[in-house]
Chain A
Amino acid sequence: MAEIKCPMCGKPNPDDLDACQFCEARLKPVTDELSRSQPPIHVGDEPTKKDTAELEPVLPKWLREVRQQARESVEEQDEEQEQQEPVGAGDQHEDLLAGLQSDIEEDEIVPDWLSNLHGGEPSEIQDAIEISEDRLRAISGDAESSNSDMGTGDRLPGWASHPDAAQETREGGETLGDWLAREVGKEKAQEAGEKAPEESRAGFGLRGDAETDLSFQGESVDESAQFEGEIPSWLRVDENDATSEGGIGTKPLEEPAYREAPEDVQVGESAQDEPVDAMPDWLSSLGEETDGHQAGGDETVAGNGQAVKDDQGPPGAESELSFGASRPESSDEDEIPAWLAQMGEEEHQDEAVHSASEAGPEERIPRPAVQPEADEGWQDLSEVKPFALEQDVVPNEAADGSALLGEEDGAGPGEDVDALFSIEMPDWLSAVEQSAGPQASPEPEADSEVIRPAELPSWVQAMRPVEAFVSGEGAGGERSDTEQKGPLAGLSGVLPLVPGVGPSSKPKTYSIKLQASEDQLASAEQLEQLLEAESYPRPAIPRPGLPAQRWLRMTIFALLLIVVGFFLFAGTSVMYIPLSVTAGTAQALNIVREELLPDAAVLMVFDYQAAFAPELEASAAPLVDHMMLLKHPRLTLLASKPSATGLSERFMHNTQPGQSYVNLGYLPGDAAGALAFVENPRSAKPAIVDGQSQWETPALQGVTLVSDFAAIFLLTDEADTARIWIEQLHNRRGATRLVLISSSQAGPLLVPYMESGQIDGLVVGLEGGAPIEKVNSNRPGTVRRYWDAYGFGLIITITMIVAGSFWNLFSGWQANRKKTGEK
């Protein structure tokens, strides 16, 4: 057996089930039958009007007659109600019964379920017809007026007013709600008091109001009780009685009939499954179709916030619900739409069918499907129910759909209900209304012979699920609601791909071959070559080497040696020593002359190579000599280069002979050594000579930190080593003055430190020491000794560069000219 997967819970179910046996969700779509007979509906398509009158000839003759008589009787009854006093229902009952009986007698094809109807007692059938008629009148009466005419005894539904029926229902299986039982019991008591019609009617009306309030307006029972002043006296008496007896007082208000519907649904479904095969095709199809409408209508009601989910509940309850929706809005019978009038006519048929089919004691109970296993008659009656529900569907639809969307003529109750719910309607529903409203199907004519059993209103067609039409398969088909692939795999209830929304054909394939012209390809290739050439270095053009001109080099060397040697050893004083000094030299001189205190501890760091010894000694000697003459500082020597220890001794021996000083020696480690010495001089350079620490000598007494020195003179020939000391001393030296004496080569690199204030004085080369020596009374005279040689050496250098450049330029021009002439 094929299985259907439930779209809600996903559990498998037999193929023949309409509802899930686990969650009771509908397995087959409501519009399954329609989908097979109609072309698929696409998104955006407007519903087409459907004339279902062609199905009328299919109906059996007795049924057609019954329907026709029902219409006529309803028309007559309406006329009589408007003009005359209410007429008893006995004639109508007789008419309905006569038609039914004649139909039963004349109909050749009588199904089994209908044959059971013949076994019923005439009196019981008569009672059933009376009950149906009363119920129909009650419904019609509610449709006519919501607040008035509640005292008319003709509108009391027979199933509710007949005490025997209620009693039998209670005995039959207690499928009716307690409220109904109490109501029937109350009617019994009222019959004894000769007020049975009024009280029963009052109870029905009260229930109808309660249902109306609860189901559509959402008002509480208390709110309904606020209208107590409007309730007639007989109703108040009824309430009192109910209170005392626990009957139909306020209990029906609290528990309306539709809340008991689920119990009926279960029973009804179980009873309906079996006799489907026994029904004629036309009737079974109508029944299925009606089920679909019924379910759709109920689901719509539930969607409106009501708790009704009874697919196969009592027709009376459904009718009451639907009319309860329209009752407050319908004040005039003329405003009743044609479909509602037709419903009234069909309601007679419904009652007639029920009455005719009920042969047992339960015949007066208007819920044949409630009794599942009472006897065969009840089962057959449940088979009749789908056809009867067809009549009930219309009011439900009207309550659910037309009441919201409005009728075509705009004069029915749906118009007012539309106005009531127009504010709360969602956009999608408003869109449906706009599209379906102008093209709504015409109302069936009341006096027409055409029966439209399966015609759907336009708005219902528009609201049909699209997927069933698109797929052409029902829920019972092979189509699975669970997505098997794609991003929505595993999800159920996904909308199918509608033709026209997505691509309907295979995507067009395009060739991946580049279609370009020859010019474009050539340009692309040229571009690639350019980009590729960028990644390769441009090869250097080899220049022709010049032959070494040793004689030129020897000439330069000879000239320099002669000139510089001559003036160096001659001891002349030709060149003028200027007195103008730079800012760094001036500050260094000022420190020596003004800031240093006598006998202050001064540290001299020798940080130069032996090659620069003559220059640095000549540059630093005047300043140191000036300082020694003025302040007599306690000198401490430190070397940061291996040969600087000997150079420091050389410096002191050549410039300050006889002066006492402390030579700490060589401090290795470059930057690390400088940092260690700046942070802790005694620890970084213990300087133990002959078992005695140099730090204990008088020159270093009181000196534990670098900041204890009054000044630090750094003699350097490299900017890098000077930078190390400047950086390490920056935050440690405190008020200690830092003066740099550098060679002419390193001088320009140290000028920025001087300009930024990181050093306090800067003496650069012979030019920096010359004015200091002149200020220092030409002591020690080293600058003067080198000054003439330095001056004449520059002159001869400039001369050689200028002369040699012009000569080489001319010779080169001649060579090129010669080459050009040769070519």
Chain B
Amino acid sequence: MRVLSIVTAMVFGLFVLFGYFFPIENLQALRALLLHWAIILAAVAMFVGGINLLSVHLVKIRAQQKNSVYSGLLVFSLVTALLVGFIWPDPSGQALRFLMDAVIVPAESSLLALLAVTLIYASVRMLRRRVDLMTFVFLGTVLFTLLAAMPTPFGKLPFLSDLLGPFLMGPFASGGMRGILLGVALGALTTGVRVLLGVDRPYGEK
């Protein structure tokens, strides 16, 4: 079974890769077929994941573990959204739009807003925890970037928004991001090769 999974991953991966480079009709058709299978499998995997999430929290509720109340809330929300979707399948309908506007977007946005509070709190406490050069560099960069992007009633702050802001966002931020992207690309390439060679088995085998 282990060998079968490895061979399957390698063969399918090579077919898709060769179909990307060689415009052979049969190979292109095989490649499209495999991609369709991948799309269907991904959707089924999401459905299976929902069922797994439901079963796990049902186990917690049944076992009456700690914070099982939140598990009950999750199960209730999931079942409700599923029922609403089955009952009113039109995504542009009122029911789903209500769920989206009233539950999903505010909840997630609030969680993201908490990030701002946490970051501010960490920045304030940074000089209490560590007082060194890099701490001052970090805090200075954050402050100057916020000041450069900060709107004022009088427009952009001179010097900060015209010179310092683009300077920080250009060579430093953009350069750093380029390096990160290159690293990501090389990592993705290496990971793909390792998967094709059977070294890495993200499908469950070690």
Interface residues of A (CB under 8 A from B): 543, 546, 549, 552-553, 556-557, 560, 574-578, 580, 609-614, 642-643, 645-650, 652-653, 663, 665, 667-670, 672-673, 675-676, 679-680, 683-684, 719-720, 723, 748-749, 751-752, 755, 767, 787, 790-791, 793-795, 797-798, 800-809, 811-812
Chain B 149-191 residues near chain A, CB threshold 8 A:
149-156, 169, 173-174, 177-178, 180-181, 184
B87 CB–A CB distance under 8 Å:
no
- Whether the Cβ atoms of A801 and B123 lie closer than 8 Å is yes
Query: How many angstroms from the CA of A163 to the CA of B36 in the assembled complex?
Result: 118
Contacts of B194 in A (CB 8 A): none
Closest chain A CB from B195 CB (angstroms): 13
Interface residues of B (CB under 8 A from A): 32, 35-36, 38-39, 42-43, 46, 91-92, 96-97, 99-101, 104-105, 107-109, 111-113, 116-118, 120-121, 123-129, 131, 139, 142-143, 146-147, 149-156, 169, 173-174, 177-178, 180-181, 184
Other-chain contact of B36, A642, A670, A684 (Cβ < 8 Å)? A684
Other-chain contact of A668, B43, B139, B147 (Cβ < 8 Å)? B43
Known: A576-B152, A676-B39. A646 touches B100 (CB 8 A): yes
Query: How many angstroms from the CA of A800 to the CA of B101 in the assembled complex?
Result: 32
- Whether the Cβ atoms of B154 and A642 lie closer than 8 Å is no
Q: Count the A-B residue pairs with Cβ separation under 8 angstroms: how many?
A: 184
Contacts of A675 in B (CB 8 A): 35
Contacts of A652 in B (CB 8 A): 92
- Whether the Cβ atoms of A805 and B91 lie closer than 8 Å is no
Known: A653-B97, A670-B42, A684-B39. A611 touches B127 (CB 8 A): no
CB-CB nearest 8 A-B residue pairs: A804-B124, A808-B128, A611-B108, A791-B151, A672-B38, A676-B35, A646-B100, A669-B39
- Whether the Cβ atoms of B91 and A723 lie closer than 8 Å is no
Query: How many angstroms from the CA of A609 to the CA of B109 in the assembled complex?
Result: 9
Query: How many angstroms from the CA of A580 to the CA of B126 in the assembled complex?
Result: 35
Known: A748-B169, A805-B126. A553 touches B92 (CB 8 A): no
- Whether the Cβ atoms of B116 and A669 lie closer than 8 Å is no
- Whether the Cβ atoms of A578 and B38 lie closer than 8 Å is no
- Whether the Cβ atoms of A665 and B91 lie closer than 8 Å is yes
Contacts of A798 in B (CB 8 A): 143, 146-147, 150
Contacts of A803 in B (CB 8 A): 124
Closest chain A CB from B56 CB (angstroms): 19
A-B contact pairs, 28 of them (CB 8 A): A552-B125, A574-B153, A575-B152, A576-B154, A580-B156, A613-B109, A614-B105, A645-B91, A646-B104, A648-B91, A649-B100, A650-B97, A650-B101, A653-B92, A653-B97, A675-B35, A676-B36, A679-B32, A679-B35, A680-B32, A683-B36, A748-B177, A749-B181, A755-B174, A787-B151, A801-B143, A805-B139, A808-B127
Closest chain A CB from B175 CB (angstroms): 9
- Whether the Cβ atoms of A611 and B109 lie closer than 8 Å is yes
Q: Which residue of A lies closest to B45 (CB)?
A: A668
Known: A642-B46, A805-B139, A812-B127. A575 touches B151 (CB 8 A): yes
Given contacts A575-B153, A668-B39, 13 further A-B contacts (CB under 8 A): A552-B121, A577-B151, A578-B155, A614-B109, A646-B91, A646-B99, A649-B100, A667-B39, A723-B184, A787-B151, A794-B150, A804-B123, A808-B125
Closest chain B CB from A542 CB (angstroms): 13
Query: How many angstroms from the CA of A720 to the CA of B180 in the assembled complex?
Result: 11
Query: How many angstroms from the CA of A823 to the CA of B156 in the assembled complex?
Result: 51
Contacts of A611 in B (CB 8 A): 105, 108-109, 111-112
Closest chain A CB from B35 CB (angstroms): 4
Known: A576-B152, A749-B181. A673 touches B131 (CB 8 A): no
Query: How many angstroms from the CA of A574 to the CA of B104 in the assembled complex?
Result: 31
Query: How many angstroms from the CA of A811 to the CA of B129 in the assembled complex?
Result: 11
Query: How many angstroms from the CA of A683 to the CA of B40 in the assembled complex?
Result: 12
Query: How many angstroms from the CA of A652 to the CA of B100 in the assembled complex?
Result: 13
Other-chain contact of A800, B124, B150, B151 (Cβ < 8 Å)? B124
Query: How many angstroms from the CA of A553 to the CA of B155 in the assembled complex?
Result: 31
- Whether the Cβ atoms of B39 and A649 lie closer than 8 Å is no
Query: How many angstroms from the CA of A723 to the CA of B180 in the assembled complex?
Result: 12
Query: How many angstroms from the CA of A589 to the CA of B40 in the assembled complex?
Result: 37
Q: Which residue of B lies closest to A576 (CB)?
A: B155
Contacts of B39 in A (CB 8 A): 667-669, 672-673, 676, 684
Query: How many angstroms from the CA of A683 to the CA of B35 in the assembled complex?
Result: 10
Contacts of A794 in B (CB 8 A): 146, 149-151
Closest chain B CB from A89 CB (angstroms): 104
Closest chain A CB from B132 CB (angstroms): 12
Known: A578-B156, A683-B36. A610 touches B105 (CB 8 A): yes
- Whether the Cβ atoms of A811 and B153 lie closer than 8 Å is no
- Whether the Cβ atoms of B120 and A797 lie closer than 8 Å is yes
Query: How many angstroms from the CA of A652 to the CA of B97 in the assembled complex?
Result: 11
Known: A650-B97, A676-B32, A797-B120. A546 touches B129 (CB 8 A): yes
Contacts of A801 in B (CB 8 A): 120, 123-124, 139, 142-143
Known: A610-B108, A614-B109, A646-B91. A748 touches B173 (CB 8 A): yes
Closest chain B CB from A289 CB (angstroms): 82
